[in-house]
């Protein structure tokens, strides 16, 4: 599966977990900021630096999502396998 497809599937999993993924140019805000999960008004939002490569976006989002329970939602088998492999590296 291509990195772009993986990223789209990861965003789909995030949506199913009620996590909105927003891409922003973090270098333009004037302070040093990293991609990551935050809570705003009781909503989970994952802010992704849009200048990152797709592979790096996948790694960052996989790191976040692998910490959540996702057994109760449908996850494409390839992505589920990646979650299982990634959990072993934590």
SS3 call for 61: helix
Spatial separation of the C-alpha atoms in residues 88 and 51, rounded to whole Å: 28
Domain count, the chain: 1
Tell me the residue range of the domain where 55 lies. Answer: 3-87
Q: C-alpha dihedral over 83, 62, 43, 15, to 10 degrees?
A: -70
Element (H, E) at 63: helix 54-65
Q: Of 3-12, 17-26, 40-49, 79-88, which has the strongest mean pLDDT?
A: 3-12
Q: What is the pLDDT of residues 11-44, one digit of tens each?
A: 999 999 999 999 988 877 676 778 889 998 999 9
pTM for this predicted structure: 0.87
């Amino acid at each position: 599966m291509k990195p772009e497809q993986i990223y789209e599937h990861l965003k789909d999993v995030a949506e199913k977990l009620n996590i909105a993924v927003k891409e922003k140019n973090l270098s333009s805000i004037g302070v040093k900021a990293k991609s990551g999960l935050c809570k705003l008004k009781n909503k989970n939002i994952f802010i992704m630096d849009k200048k990152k490569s797709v592979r790096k976006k996948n790694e960052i989002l996989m790191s976040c999502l692998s910490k959540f329970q996702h057994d109760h939602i449908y996850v494409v088998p390839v992505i589920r396998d990646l979650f299982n492999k990634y959990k072993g590296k934590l």
